[in-house]
Structure 1
Amino acid sequence: MRRRQLLALTPAAALAACTAEEPSQGPGADGPGGSSDGSSDRGGAEGTSSQEPSAASSAPTTTEPPTAAERLLETLSPRELAGQLVLVGIPAGSEIPEQVLTEHHAGGIFLLQVWESAEAVDRTVARARELSRSGLPALIAVDQEGGQVRMLRGDTARKTPSAETLGEQGTEAVTEAYTSIGEDLAARGIQVAFSPVADVVDPALGDANEPVGGLDRGFGTEPEAVGECVAAATTALAAQGIGATLKHFPGLGRVQKNTDFSAEGIEDEVTGPEDPFLQSFRAGIEAGAQLVMMSSAIYPQLEAGVPAMFSAAAIQDLLRDGLGFEGLVVTDDIGAAKAVAAVPVPERATRLLEAGGDVVLTADASLTGELVDAIEGWAARSPEQEQRVRESAGRMLALKEQLGLLQG
């Protein structure tokens, strides 16, 4: 694959490989030095010199100047590269532990639990800026879907309906609600919404689907209609400068239990590479979603016994190669979630990277150092693994640049 070939290159060489202009070829050209009949074309009729430059050899080769993210990537230490691949949850009413950003250089934070004071949110966002290294600002994210899943309430954000209600009302209602969400997040200095939910709920389960149907978090049970709502939400957030996160790939609509609270009842025996329930994720990707959150559930049709967030079949083969997603792939919570409790903490980060993912989310801030240590140590073991970490850090920095956090 082209992506894998670029991993072997230095960032500067990869940039040149991606941006050099292709030589122009005239009609019937087979390549440099050849004619359409396969002859070497050394001698020209009527004394034409064979030394005259061809269109291919005279075409200029140009490269685009490096972006702010690419320039910054070249300056980061191994510790800073590793830290960019961790997002840390900060519960309402608590302070950001200083070492999360000063020592471990976490890529950013996300707001946990319910925040009802705009002043408290603003203070936390400002503190994240103060603790971050100059020129390497923290990304700020929050779960803000509407309905029951709204971390910002009170005077921090307006109330919006659940996805289930919005799905019944149609895409205009979705656009209105997610425009409101985007405006409220932008006003608080937050760049990423961990929404919209792209899961299609199995109508045979309905509310028995605890993580989505039971909480009214899904736009519906029909993939095409859900996809239209997901695209509308993604577009509305982008219009306010907010990055959308499609979740929970490849879908939680067919499991019974919530992966946050259970390691049982979280297998989806149906979803596979050609599943129509993937249509909603494809719609969100085509609408420009910049992040995808992986499910912690298990999908035997993709990779038996392996949570999707640790599965190369789910991330690399299906999401990236199959659906063409090139943005930031993040986990659901790996800090407190029961679904991954049996996995050693360091492996929760390195297995994601091995599978082709980028960033781990931990609701337990005390795990930050251990996760960053694991990523830094893993990168030091081989040039290929170091480049894998650089690739993901590059995606994080590119996202920060797209969302206006990096200086040009």
Structure 2
Amino acid sequence: MKQRILMLVTGILVSIGVLWCLNLKDPHLLPIRQSEYVLFLVFALFILGAAMGIRRRAIKAILVVCTITLVTMASVEELRFRQAREAIRANLGGEYSTINRRLIIGFNDKAEIKQLVANDIAGVFLTGHNIKGETRQSLTAFLAELQQIRADRGLAPLIVATDQEGGPVSRLSPLLPHQPALATVQTDRESSYLYGYKQGLGLRDIGVTVNFSPVVDLKPEGPPGALDFHSLIATRAISADPAEVVQIAKPYIQGLEAAGITATLKHFPGLARVPNDTHHFSARLTTDKPTLLTSDWVPFIKLSQASSSWLMLSHVILTAIDPDNPVSTSSLVVEGLIRSELGITNPLVTDDLTMGATYNRGFCKSVFQSYSTDIDYLLIAYDYEKYYAAVECIQAHRKTQ
């Protein structure tokens, strides 16, 4: 009986090892990224130890071979990643510069991001994990140092982006004073303008240039879906009335712009009617186009026409235009709908491409599809190390064309 239990447990451990090996460096495992390879090796040794206690030689041999194979695969992947990272970081002014100019990335290592900034990366994204331990003064000094690197190399100023919406999404607070959600601001123009202007001054003083705000998705009628862990649009949206969204968001954007900050309208084509959370799952917007034109898309269209705001593209599949690909990867949506039909010429940026809705369908596929459209900037924020995979993927596809 003990032998049967041991074989069962060892088999389960091997199955877990296979899943882990196939998903090494998955964004969901980012919290253990720095020690993941070592942890995997320790786990493999544990499996080997369990396998050695099995008396049946054939089963023991199979489990040992499987474990050694997994360790070999993981080691090859780790070595390949490190070599690619070093090659890309060292390629100053080289073949990757053209790709870099369309990428905005998160970071965790200051020395690493300095190298990439010198190699003409379009921008950096600030959030909780990479400002941890910073004071307002130290963060300001670091961003000034990055801009000086650009100036010394004769490169365009670095885009410095963040999510400072106010309310639950305030990435730079408490370095910046926490503001209530924009939806709670009085609906008169002056209040919204002053809210944006005050926010913009704080962002500008630190060194931010682009704020991924405001949320102009309509407020959903019902509660969040059971699996909506992070989008939570109902807590971030201004109103269910598109006219009211425009009324509040327009002076807010003008306040940001007066302070020298570029706003970003998000998340086209709107998440109000989407129950799934694209941070983790694929999602489809099945509403017909005439309805969207007179409701969800009104704020995006009017505010794009009235400002120089960027437009952030979500990872929702807009079935009325392209039933196969997320908006952030779809040329039918980008060139066909946004650019041609709606006439929106504002800069476009994807939502984070390491989110589940794009990563799970194939990160390389999603990245290259986005790169092949008229989207200005590709965002790789949460799992910043996926920047290297993105560059490799784009470069490989370019060479085959």
TM-score, scaled relative to structure 1: 0.67
Distance 1:163 1:196, change over 3 A: same
TM-superposed deviation, 1:96:
5.2
Aligned residues: 299
8 A contact 1:228–1:283 mirrored in 2: no
Counterpart of 1:189? 207
Rate the CA distance shift 1:103–1:117 in 2: closer, same or farther, 3 A.
closer
* Aligned mates of 2:224, 2:197 — CA distance in 1: 27
1:46-195 matches, within 5 Å, as: 78-90=95-107, 94-95=109-110, 97-98=112-113, 101=116, 104-113=119-128, 115=131, 117-132=135-150, 134-136=153-155, 137-154=157-174, 156-166=175-185, 169-195=187-213
Percent identical among aligned pairs is: 24
Q: 1:367 aligns with which of 362, 386, 394?
A: 386
Q: 2:303 aligns with which of 284, 301, 311?
A: 284
Cα deviation, residue 160, structure 1: 1.5
Q: Which residue of 2 aligns with 1:12?
A: none
What SS class does the counterpart of residue 110 from structure 1 fall into? Answer: strand
Q: 1:130 to 1:344 in 2, by over 3 A?
A: farther
* SS of the residue 1:246 aligns to: strand
Query: Does residue 257 of structure 2 align to residue 234 of structure 1?
Result: no
Note if contact 1:104-1:368 (Cα within 8 Å) is conserved in structure 2.
no
Q: Amino acid of the residue matched to residue 107 of structure 1?
A: A
Cα distance change on mapping 1:199 and 1:96 into 2, 3 Å: farther
1:315-360 alpha-carbon deviations (Å, 9 max, x no partner): 112211122222321111112x111122333323210133321221
Asked if the contact 1:147–1:160 (Cα under 8 Å) also holds between the matched residues in 2, the reply is yes
Letter of the 1:111 counterpart:
L
Instruction: Give distance in 2, aligned partners of 1:130 and 1:366.
Output: 24
Do the aligned partners of 2:220 and 2:233 also contact (CA within 8 Å) in 1? Answer: no
Paired residues for 1:242-321 under 5 Å: 242-260=261-279, 262-264=280-282, 266-270=283-287, 272=289, 274-321=293-340
Q: Residue 113 and residue 182 in structure 1: after superposition, are their counterparts in 2 closer, same or farther (change >3 A)?
A: same
The alpha carbon displacement at 1:379 in A equals: 4.0
Match of 2:62 in 1: none
User: In structure 2, how many angstroms separate the alpha carbons of the residues matched to 1:101 and 1:86?
Assistant: 11
Residues 163/223 of structure 1: CA separation in 2 closer, same or farther (3 Å cut): same
Distance (Å, rounded) in 1 between the aligned partners of 2:165 and 2:294: 25
Question: For residues 248 and 231 of structure 2, what CA distance do their matches in structure 1 show?
Answer: 15
Equivalent pair of 1:87/1:108 in contact (CA under 8 Å): yes
SS in 2 for 1:185: helix
Distance 1:104 1:370, change over 3 A: farther
Residue 77 of structure 1, CA deviation: 5.8
TM-aligned CA distance change 1:141 to 1:318, over 3 Å: same
Q: What's the RMSD between the two structures over aligned residues? A: 2.5
Q: Any gaps of 5 or more consecutive residues in structure 1?
A: 1-75, 383-408
Q: Specify which of 238, 252, 258 is matched with residue 219 of structure 1.
A: 238
Segment drifting more, 370-379 vs 290-299? 370-379
Q: 2:306 and 2:225 mapped to 1: Cα distance?
A: 30
Would the alpha carbon gap of residues 332 and 271 (structure 1) be closer, same or farther in structure 2, given more than 3 Å must change?
A: farther
Deviation readout 1:272-308 (Å, 9 max, x if unpaired): 2634210000122012133111011122112113111
List gaps (5 residues or longer) in structure 2.
1-92
Q: Which runs of 4+ in 1 moved over 6 A?
A: none
TM-score normalised to structure 2 length: 0.68
Higher relative contact order (CA 8 A, sep 6+): 1
CA contact (8 A) 1:86 1:359 kept: yes
SS at match of 1:304: coil
Aligned partner of residue 333 in structure 1, secondary structure: coil
- Equivalent AA in structure 2 for residue 186 of structure 1: R
